[in-house]
Amino acid sequence: SSSPVNNDQTQNLSASLHHLSSDFINNSKHKCNMSLSSTHNRSMSSEQKTSDGITFKFKPIEPWNSMSLSKSPSMQRANQQMSRIDLGDETSTVDNKLLALPYGIEVPIDTALNMDCVDLYQSMQMEQHDYVSPGSFSPGAAYLPYRRYLVDWMSDVGEQCNLHNTTVHCSILFLDKIFRSNHIPREKWQLLATACISVAAKYEEAEEHCPPIPDLLALTKLRDVGHTSLSFRNEGELEVLRYLGWRLRAIPALHVIGYYLSKGAIFVNDTWEDRPLIEKIPKYVRKYAEFFSNLTLQEYSFQAYLPTHLAAAILLASRVALHLCPRWRPELVALTGYEESDIIDCFNKVW
């Protein structure tokens, strides 16, 4: 649905992004690691008997078109506004004008992964409260005056270790959960911050991308104060695991944004500055989304919002920054579970 656009228009769009730091732009190449979620087998069990009379149950995978969406009120509201098309008889319960196709996605993520990715979002919705929620928000925590320095330092270490941006975000959620609930002596801050990075890398990254502990100790100068690989494991990593109760699935807003963008957050009948979309628009939406994600990571106040809530507000901010119209639409309500009115307060703080 795009039309030829002259070089000046493309250059103007590129110039609008120059305020983003090069670090954020480089990190945009990193794909969000969403392989930590698993699908649910929800179909009816059938009993089978072996030749020796032993009975067991086999649960076949349920067909995609019979899988139910989230039972949460927000998703139920979204389902009322978006059609769930029956692939068999091509029936629809809403107007076809609400069924715009995503722009810039050649192969749907469900097809590429051979799974129904709605399960990923349902899982994130259920588990996002473990690290960030209005109930755990602690604006009076003692470490908060120094938090921005810790975040900047951990981000630098993650960049030097070539870790994914999502890994750094998870490591900072680890640190926040530990520091807001426990009194940590200041002399242990650097050790535990480094351990949070190491544990997050081992959970989020492929094994070959995890920084070796000796290299990490040298980079962070912990080796200079007497720490060895053994002491780092015992006093650093194991302490982090104990504080976190061995529950390591942190869901930052950046994980959720990865899901939104992979499903499609721009649509063929969107317009850019009252003109048809051009090929580079999806890339710039992703860059803005990563920029706003990194920006909100700096401020602890954004942890008053659930990650899915913040991610939806960041997506709205990214569309507004690029002058996409409409700025929010029924397809996005169905995708995120949020009306624009639900996220407008958070959007105003992001913006």
- Single out the residue in 220, 243, 266 at which a domain terminates: 243
Tell me, what's the pLDDT at 11?
A: 56
For residues 259 and 236, membership in a common domain is answered with no
**Confidence category of residue 92, pLDDT binned at 50, 70, 90:** very low
What is the Cα–Cα distance from 195 to 98, expressed in whole angstroms? 47
- CB 322, CB 316: distance < 8 Å: no
- CB 307, CB 124: distance < 8 Å: yes
For residues 116 and 24, membership in a common domain is answered with yes
- Single out the residue in 208, 243, 278 at which a domain terminates: 243
For residues 146 and 204, membership in a common domain is answered with yes
In a domain, 60, yes or no: no
- CB 103, CB 144: distance < 8 Å: no
pLDDT top residue among 49 and 195: 195
For residues 145 and 229, membership in a common domain is answered with yes
For residues 341 and 208, membership in a common domain is answered with no
In a domain, 306, yes or no: yes
Weakest mean pLDDT among 83-87, 290-294, 301-305, 309-313: 83-87
- CB 121, CB 70: distance < 8 Å: yes
- The type of residue at 63 is P
> What percent of the chain stands above pLDDT 70?
72
Quote the number of domains for the chain. 2
Where in the sequence is the domain holding 162, given as residue range(s)? 137-243
In a domain, 57, yes or no: no
**Taking the model in full, what pTM does it have?**
0.73
Contacts of residue 324, Cβ cutoff 8 Å, sequence gap at least 6:
266, 270, 271, 272, 281, 285
Contacts of residue 349, Cβ cutoff 8 Å, sequence gap at least 6:
301, 302, 313
In a domain, 206, yes or no: yes
**Confidence category of residue 53, pLDDT binned at 50, 70, 90:** low
- Single out the residue in 243, 266, 281 at which a domain terminates: 243
The per-residue pLDDT for range 107-153, each reduced to its tens digit, is 999 999 998 999 999 999 999 999 999 999 999 999 999 999 999 99
340 membership: H or E segment, kind and range: helix 340-350
What is the Cα–Cα distance from 110 to 33, expressed in whole angstroms? 15
**Confidence category of residue 221, pLDDT binned at 50, 70, 90:** very high
For residues 111 and 25, membership in a common domain is answered with yes
Cα–Cα distance list, 212 to 23, 36, 142, 232 (Å) = 23, 22, 32, 12
For residues 122 and 256, membership in a common domain is answered with yes
For residues 343 and 301, membership in a common domain is answered with yes
Q: Please name the residue ranges forming H helices in 161-272.
A: 165-181, 189-204, 213-219, 229-231, 238-243, 253-263
For residues 263 and 192, membership in a common domain is answered with no
Q: 179 is written with which tokens?
A: 């520091």
For residues 121 and 209, membership in a common domain is answered with no
For residues 125 and 273, membership in a common domain is answered with yes
The per-residue pLDDT for range 10-31, each reduced to its tens digit, is 555 555 545 444 444 444 444 4
The CATH number assigned to the domain holding 212 equals: 1.10.472.10
Tell me, what's the pLDDT at 169?
A: 98
In a domain, 106, yes or no: yes
In a domain, 42, yes or no: no
What is the Cα–Cα distance from 179 to 243, expressed in whole angstroms? 9
Q: What is the mean pLDDT of residues 55-66?
A: 41
